[in-house]
Amino acid sequence: MLVLIVVVLTVIAYLPAGSLAAAVPPPHYGEASMSWLRTNNGQIVDGSGRKVLLRGFNVAALVSYPNDPPAPLGEMDATLMQQAGFDVVRLGIDWAQLEPERGRINQAYLDRVTVAVSTLNRHGLYVILDMHFRLGWSPRFGYSGAPAWATIGVPNWNPLHESWSPALSPAAFTSDTYFWLSSDWKKDFYLTWQAVATRFKDNAGVAGYDIFNEAHPLPIPPRIFEKFYLFPMFKDAIEAIGRVDSNHLFFIEGILLLTMNTAVVPLKVSNLVYGTHVYEGSLVPPHWNGDSTFLRSRFQQRAREAAEVPAPLWVGELGYDLGAPGATSYIDAALDEADDLAGPGGNGGKAGGGAWWTAPVSWSTRTTCATSRVPTSSRPPRVCVPVAATASAETSPSR
C-alpha cells in the first residue's frame, strides 16, 4: 500500500501543472510624486515605459524577532541608502502585528508602517511590502510570521539551534502545515493583506506587495505543494488584494528548501513579478569556495522559473555573513550574476535587480563598490554594498 501511495503521489507531482489566472480589475493610477511601477514585456517599467532596476536592501525594523530584536529604521538610514545610489527597500511587515486578535486590524502598527514608507519615499526609495514569515512560523514560537491565534499548541522544541531548524519544531511544523491544508486561517490572511492594500492603494512609492516570504513545502511533498497549495494561494491572495488595489506590483516567490527547484504553475495576471530568493553558497550548501559555477546555475534556474510564470525576475533576498571569510568574493560573484541577468544578454533583460539581506546596523562606516565595472549599454552599473565595520546580527543573512 505504501508503495502504491508513493507511486500515485509521484505521478501527480509530475503531471503537467496546468495554469491559473487571477481576476484583477484594471489599475487606476492617480497623480503621484513617484512614478507608478508596472510590468510590460517581461520587465518592470515606470510610467514612461522605461525599464526600472530595483536595487537595494531588505529592512527588518518592523518585524517581530522576540529573541533578536532588529535595529530600528531612521532618517539617516534612508539618507545613506539614497546617497549610495539605491532605489528600493523590501520592508518586512508582520501578520502577527497586523492582526494580533482575530478579526481586528492593528491600525497603530499600520501607522508605523506608513511612517517607515513615508521616510523611505522622501529619499526616492520605493518600498516593497514583504509579509515576512520565518521558519519558526510565529513570534509565539520566537520568530516572525503568524499571530498567536493562528498557531497550534503543541510543544515548541528546537534542539538543533541552526538557522533552518525552527521549521522542525513540532509547534511551527504543525501550525505551518495547517495553514496550507485548510482555508481557515487563509481567509484572515487575505483580509489582512486587504487592510494593508487599502492603506497604500494610492501611494506610488509602494512598488508592490510580496505576498508570502519563503514558503517551504514539508511535510507536503514538493511539486504537489506548489501545484495544489502555493500557487493557488498566490492566485487567491492577488484576487483579494486586487479587489481593493490593482495599482501595484504583485510579488510571488518560489519555495525555499535546500537547492530544490520550484515547480512553477503559470499564473496569468497583470503586474506580476517573480521575487524569489538566492541563498546557495550562503545559507544553503554547498558553501562558497570562490567558484561561481554553481551560484551561476542557481541564478539561471531562477530566471527559467520566472520565464515559466511568466514574469520578470527580481531577487528579493540574497546575502552572506559579512564577517565571514569569502564575503567580498561572494558579494562580487552574486552581484555579477544578478547584473548579467538584468542585461540584454542574460535573461533577455527580463530581470529587475534585487535586495540584499539585510541593511547593516552600522551605516556610518564605508560603502564598497566594484569600481572596475563600467556601465555600458549591455551591462548595468554596479550596485554598491554597504559593509559594516564589525559584523553583527543584522549583517548576517541568518534570518
pLDDT for position 393: 31
Q: What's the rounded Cα separation, in Å, for the pair 381 and 15? A: 42
Superfamily of structural domain 39-395: Glycosidases (3.20.20.80)
Q: How many CA atoms lie within 13 A of 73 on its CB side?
A: 25
Q: Which three cell numbers stand for residue 295?
A: 551560484
Hey, what's the cell of 228?
A: 495544489
Exposed/middle/buried for 2, CB within 10 Å: 0-12, 13-18, 19+? exposed
> What pLDDT is recorded for position 349?
60
Give the separation between CA 399 and CA 394, rounded to whole angstroms.
9
**What pLDDT is attached to residue 377?**
27
How many Å apart are CA 114 and CA 45, to the nearest integer? 24
Distance from the Cα of residue 193 to its chain's centroid: 15
Return the pLDDT at 396: 35
- Say what the pLDDT of residue 364 is: 31
- CA distances 339 to 55, 269, 313, 342, Å, are 10, 26, 12, 5
For position 123, what pLDDT does the model report? 97
Collapsing DSSP to helix, strand or coil, 256 comes out as coil
Contact in structure between 311 and 39 (CB atoms under 8 Å) = yes
What's the grid cell of residue 342? 538584468
- Phi, psi of 278, deg, nearest 5: -130, 115
Per-residue b or e along 322-359, where b marks 16 or more CB atoms closer than 10 Å to that residue's CB: beeebbeebbbbbbbbbbbbbbeebbebbbbbbbbbbb
Q: Which of 386, 332, 389 is nearest to 359 (CA)?
A: 386
Sheet strands (E) in 119-187: 126-131
Residues contacting 303, CB < 8 A, separation 6+: 313, 341, 346, 347, 350, 351
Omega before 285 cis (within 30°)?
Answer: no
pLDDT score, position 7: 57
Cell numbers of 291, please? 567558484
Range list of H helices, 201-345: 224-225, 231-242, 293-308, 327-342
Is pTM beyond 0.85 here?
yes
pLDDT tens digits in sequence order for the chain, 399 residues long:
655 565 555 656 666 778 999 999 999 998 888 999 999 999 999 999 999 999 999 999 999 887 778 889 999 999 999 999 999 999 999 999 999 999 999 999 999 999 999 999 999 999 999 999 988 899 998 888 999 999 998 888 877 776 667 777 888 889 999 999 999 999 999 999 999 999 999 999 999 999 999 999 989 999 999 999 999 999 999 999 999 999 999 999 999 888 999 999 999 999 999 999 999 999 888 989 999 999 999 999 999 999 999 999 999 999 888 888 899 999 999 988 988 887 665 565 677 789 998 754 333 322 333 322 322 223 333 344 433 322 233 333 445
